[in-house]
């Protein structure tokens, strides 16, 4: 009904964190902090992977809801909001399906980050990474 709203909300929060982190990293680089380019993927870049998955996925999911007539271009935008019974069902769906979607995407992202760090570390150990 509107399960994608949970992932949209997470995407907004992660995007804000990503921008803050990016600013911190730029400041640290300007301040002369030791560059760890070859053995370390910046956290802001990893957060960008997560926002891309969340925003991209939510967008395509939102299209599916438009397709099924659950999202409309006029207020209140969600057809389930027209009567209290449907609204209650929608909120329940957001709390279950939506939260599970956001959690699984985040879990996959954590796995990706661990794998990416391991690959970069291994490449740095064998001298494959360019400085």
Footprint on this chain of other proteins (rule: CB under 8 A):
3-4, 7, 49, 52-61, 63-64, 67, 96-97, 100-101, 104-105, 108
CA distance 29 to 24: 9
CB of residue 69 to other proteins, shortest distance in Å: 12
Phi, psi of 75, deg, nearest 5: -60, 140
By beta-carbon proximity to other proteins, the closer residue of 25 and 45 is 45
CB of residue 74 to other proteins, shortest distance in Å: 21
Strand partners, 78: 71
**Residue 104 burial by CB count (10 A; 0-12/13-18/19+): exposed, middle or buried?**
exposed
By beta-carbon proximity to other proteins, the closer residue of 42 and 57 is 57
By beta-carbon proximity to other proteins, the closer residue of 27 and 68 is 68
CB of residue 33 to other proteins, shortest distance in Å: 27
Q: Which residue has the tokens 């057809």?
A: 79
CB of residue 45 to other proteins, shortest distance in Å: 11
CA distance 61 to 64: 5
């Amino acid at each position: 009904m509107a399960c994608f709203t949970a992932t949209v909300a997470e995407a907004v929060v992660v995007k804000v964190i990503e921008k803050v982190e990016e600013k911190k990293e730029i400041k640290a680089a300007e301040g002369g902090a030791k560059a760890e380019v070859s053995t370390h993927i910046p956290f802001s870049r990893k957060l960008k992977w997560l926002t891309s998955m969340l925003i991209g996925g939510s967008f395509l999911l939102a299209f599916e809801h438009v397709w099924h007539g659950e999202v409309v271009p006029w207020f209140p935008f969600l057809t389930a909001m027209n009567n209290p019974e449907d609204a209650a069902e929608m909120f329940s769906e957001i709390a279950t399906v939506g939260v599970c979607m956001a959690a699984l995407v985040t879990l996959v992202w954590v796995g990706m980050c661990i794998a990416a760090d391991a690959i970069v570390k291994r490449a740095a150990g064998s001298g494959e990474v360019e400085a």
